Amino acid sequence: MEEAVKMPAPKLNAENQEYWDAARRGVLLVKRCADCGEAHHYPRAICPFCHSGSTEWEEVAGTGVIHTYTIMRREQPSTITAYVALDQGPIMLTNIVGCEPETVRIGMPVQVCFADAEDGLRVPVFRPR
């Protein structure tokens, strides 16, 4: 049996290292601003809403619904690219795994899981719940 293809890994920097360290432990983080209270994704050191430098990592359950998706038919096997709307609010780009592409629907409830990537990293992806 062929080994599962690992996902491409990003190169990390000081601003996003903690997100990827948490993903390696199977934890999804979002950034929330301590001043205005808004959560955002992708995570930034500076809040994109009020420009405060007091953004904090917040561990989330990783539940949400599929906001939109597409099936990339030319990839073998087909990948499902999606935006998932986290229960905390922001939408995040991801892949949907663990189901037949034809069963995916907008509004489908999903749960985060973590796929192996190159360089020993793990990447948050979502499966139906």
Sole binder of other proteins in the list 92, 108, 110, 112 (CB under 8 A): 92
**Cα Rg of the chain (Å, integer):** 15
Residues ≥6 apart with Cβ < 8 Å to 93: 81, 82, 83
List binders of other proteins among 16-75 (CB under 8 A): 16, 20, 38-42, 44, 48-49, 67-75
**Toward other proteins, which CB reaches closer, 16 or 129?**
16
Residues ≥6 apart with Cβ < 8 Å to 77: none
**Toward other proteins, which CB reaches closer, 1 or 23?**
23
Judged by CB under 8 A, the number of residues near other proteins is 44
**Toward other proteins, which CB reaches closer, 1 or 25?**
25
Nearest to 103 by CA among 56, 66, 60: 66
C-alpha torsion 50→44→90→109, nearest 10: -160
112, exposed or middle or buried, with CB in 10 Å at 0-12, 13-18, 19+? buried
What does the alpha-carbon distance between residue 23 and residue 114 come to, in Å, rounded to a whole number? Answer: 7
**Least distance in Å: CB of 1 to other proteins?**
23
**Toward other proteins, which CB reaches closer, 40 or 129?**
40
**Least distance in Å: CB of 117 to other proteins?**
6
Name the site residues for other proteins (rule: CB under 8 A).
7-13, 15-16, 20, 38-42, 44, 48-49, 67-75, 79, 81-83, 86, 89-95, 106-107, 117, 123, 125
